[in-house]
Amino acid sequence: MAENSFVQPAVPKFDGHYDHWAMLMENFLRSKEYWGLVESGIPTVVEGVVLTDAQRKNIDDQKLKDLKAKNYLFQALDRSCPSKENEANYADTQEEMLLMAYVDMNKAHREDMWFLDSGCSNHMCGTKEYFSNFDGSFRDSVKLGNNTSMVVTGKGNVRLQVNGIAQIITGVFYVPELKNNLLSIGQLQEKGLTILFQSGKCKVFHPERGVIMEMKMCSNRMFMLHAISQPIASTCFNAITEDIVHLWHCRYGHLSFKGLKTLQQKKMVNGLPQLKSPLRLCKDCLVGKQQRYSFPRKSTWRASQILQLVHADICGPIKPISNSKKRFKIHVEKETNSFIRALRTDRGGEFTSQEFTNFCDVNGIRRQLTAAYTPQQNGVAERKNRTIMNMVRSMISEKKIPKPFWPEAVNWIVHVLNRSPTLAVQNKTQKKLGVE
C-alpha cells in the first residue's frame, strides 16, 4: 500500500534556462540510476572477443537503460516550444552556422571578447575597424538557429593581442549585425593548432610556439577569450604611399628620390605630388645601377724583404715569345742571393697549368691567385706592364726600330727602370736595394 502511494518524480521540463534544467535533469537521472551510463556510455565490444553470458546480459541491460534515458530526454522537450533541434543543428550547405543559444543569451556587445564556438565554421567579427587586408567584395551569409540570416559583407585578417603577444587571425568574416566576436574551433584546427579542453579550461597549442591562447569556462559553460584588437590600418596606407612613390620613380626613368624631391620642392614641374621617403629599395635599380666598390688605393700589407712577394703578369699576346719563367727565376735568385717566397698572379692558363704548379711546389714558392675578373688585386704587375710598354713604344717610335725587336727594347727599359727612382723605395734605386 505504501509503495502504491509513492509519487514518482516528474521529468523536468526544459523552459529555456539550460543551467537550471541541466542540474534538475542530472538529479532526475541519478535517481533512476541512469547517470553512470550518461557519463561512461555503453561499453564497446572488441571484435573477435567471445563474451560470456553474464557479459552479454550486462551489455543488453546497458542498452535498455540508454533507451530509457533518451526517452526521458525527449519527454523533457515541450513540442509547443520552437524546435531547437530542427532549427539550430541544420543549415544550407552554402550558409555558415551560428549557435542559436549563444545569439539569444548575449545581447550586449563586448569588443574585447572572443567566444570559442564549435557551431560556426568560420571566424566572425562585427567591427570593421579591426580588419586588415580587408576584401570588401566578399559576400556570404550566416544562418541562425531561429531561421534568420545575417549577411557577410567582407573578409580579412584580425590582429589580436593575447597576454601581451600579437596573434594574427586569418580568414575572418565581417558580419556587421553580429553582436559578439566568434572564433571557429574547426578553422583553428585547419591551421594545425591543437585545442585541449580540460578541468574547465581551454588551451590552444601551436606546433612550434606551444600555448598561444588560454581561456576559462564561464558560468554559461562557454569559453571567452579576452583580447585587445590591434588593427594594422597604417600598413595599408603605407603600401598606397609606397606605390605612389614607386610609380613616379618609374615614370621618371628610375630617377633617384633626391632628384624627384628637388623637382617637387623647387616647383620645376607641374603635377608632381609631395612624396615621402621610400621604405624599400627598387629591385630594378639594384639590377641596372649596381656597381663594384672601388678597390683601396693602398694595400694593408707590403713585403719587407727581397723577393718576399713577386707580382707577375703576362703581357700579350706579343710575338716572338720572350724568355721563359724558369730562366727569369734562376737569373733573379743568383743576382739577389734570395729565394722567391710567394708569387701573385691571375688565373691565366699559363699560371694554373699542372706543369707550372709542380714547378712552384718543388721550389717552395707559395701561390697567390687573384679572383676572376679583378685585375686590381694584382695591380702592381698590371701597372708595371703598362709603364714598360709605354716606354717601349716611345723608344721604338723615336729610333724608328722595327717592331719585331720589341724584346730587346723591353730588356733595355727594364734595365733602365731598375736604376730609376720609384715611390715604393725612398732615396734608393731598385738595383741598389737589391744589391744591398
Instruction: Work out the angle between the directed axes of helices 53-76 and 18-31 (0-180°, nearest 10).
Output: 140
Backbone angle region of 337, left / alpha / beta, with phi > 0 → left and psi within -120 to 50 → alpha? left
Q: Where in the chain is the domain with CATH 3.30.420.10?
A: 310-435
d(CA 115, CA 181): 6
Residue range 218-241, pLDDT digits in tens: 877 788 888 877 765 444 444 444
The CATH number that domain 310-435 falls under is 3.30.420.10
Summarize the confidence of residues 3-14 as an average pLDDT.
64
Residue range 360-419, pLDDT digits in tens: 888 888 888 888 777 777 777 777 778 888 888 888 888 788 888 878 888 888 888 877
Residue range 274-298, pLDDT digits in tens: 777 776 678 778 777 777 666 666 6
d(CA 339, CA 341): 6
d(CA 348, CA 345): 8
Residue range 133-147, pLDDT digits in tens: 888 888 888 877 666
262 pLDDT higher than 80: yes
Query: Do the strands 201-206 and 194-198 form a parallel or antiparallel pair, or are they unpaired?
Result: antiparallel
d(CA 276, CA 264): 11
Contact 99, 151 (CB under 8 A): no
Its pTM surpasses 0.75: no
Q: Which residue has the cell 691571375?
A: 346
Whole-Å CA distances, 35 to 25, 67, 71, 211, 429: 10, 13, 14, 35, 112
pLDDT given for residue 239 in this prediction: 42
Summarize the confidence of residues 300-313 as an average pLDDT.
72
Residue range 26-43, pLDDT digits in tens: 778 888 777 777 777 777
Q: Which residue has the higher pLDDT, 163 or 352?
A: 352
pLDDT given for residue 236 in this prediction: 44
Q: Which fold has domain 88-231?
A: Cathepsin D, subunit A; domain 1 (2.40.70)
Contact 146, 100 (CB under 8 A): yes
Q: Where in the chain is the domain with CATH 2.40.70?
A: 88-231
Local confidence band at 337 (pLDDT 50, 70, 90 cut-offs): low
d(CA 258, CA 191): 45
